[in-house]
């Protein structure tokens, strides 16, 4: 689990090496400062993943998005319904997640995941 920050508010993010893009839950992203559903841009094709066969998706640019020492402006993320993921987390008495860090972020920042120590090293790209 990683803690990130969007527009000054902390978010809980799952590191998902199998996700092609960083995604946020449709309802939870709307709880963040300066994120408005009117700014969502629909994506024409349905996506798959996170335990479903297909899902409608949109994208939105986050004004300020940071993870650790990495801070980005106007960072595009996918917005999808992750209700089924958080329902599963609730059944396991785990806190809900706001989204997932996808492989586009991990690849771009040369992420190294140490499974033994449960640490992730990412490199700021200038």
pLDDT, tens only, 75-97: 999 999 999 999 999 999 999 99
- Phi/psi region, residue 118 (left: phi>0; alpha: psi -120 to 50; beta: rest), is left
CB atoms within 10 A of CB 54: 10
Of the pLDDT bands very low, low, confident and very high (cuts 50, 70, 90), residue 46 is low
pLDDT at 125: 78
CB atoms within 10 A of CB 40: 16
pLDDT, tens only, 23-45: 999 999 999 999 999 999 999 76
**Stretch 40-68: mean pLDDT, rounded?**
79
Question: How is the chain split into domains, by residue range?
Answer: 2-121
Separation between Cα atoms, residue 43 and residue 103, nearest integer Å? 19
**Stretch 51-63: mean pLDDT, rounded?**
79
**Stretch 51-69: mean pLDDT, rounded?**
83
Q: Is 111 within 8 Å of 121 (Cβ atoms)?
A: yes
Quote the pTM value.
Answer: 0.87
pLDDT at 2: 79
Query: Token match 């803690």: residue?
Result: 3
- Phi/psi region, residue 91 (left: phi>0; alpha: psi -120 to 50; beta: rest), is alpha
pLDDT over 90, % of the chain: 83
CATH class of 2-121: mainly beta
pLDDT at 119: 92
Structural element, H or E, at residue 101: strand 99-101
């Amino acid at each position: 689990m990683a803690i990130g920050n969007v527009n000054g508010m902390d978010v809980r993010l799952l590191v998902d090496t199998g996700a092609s893009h960083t995604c946020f839950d449709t309802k939870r992203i709307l709880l963040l400062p300066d994120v408005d559903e009117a700014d969502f841009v629909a994506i024409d094709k349905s996506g798959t993943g996170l335990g479903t066969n297909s899902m409608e998706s949109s994208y939105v640019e986050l004004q300020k998005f940071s993870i650790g020492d990495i801070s980005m402006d106007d960072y595009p993320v996918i917005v999808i319904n992750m209700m089924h993921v958080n329902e599963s987390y609730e059944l396991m008495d785990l806190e809900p997640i706001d989204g997932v860090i996808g492989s586009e972020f991990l690849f771009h920042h040369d992420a190294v995941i140490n499974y033994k120590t449960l640490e992730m090293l990412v490199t700021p790209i200038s």
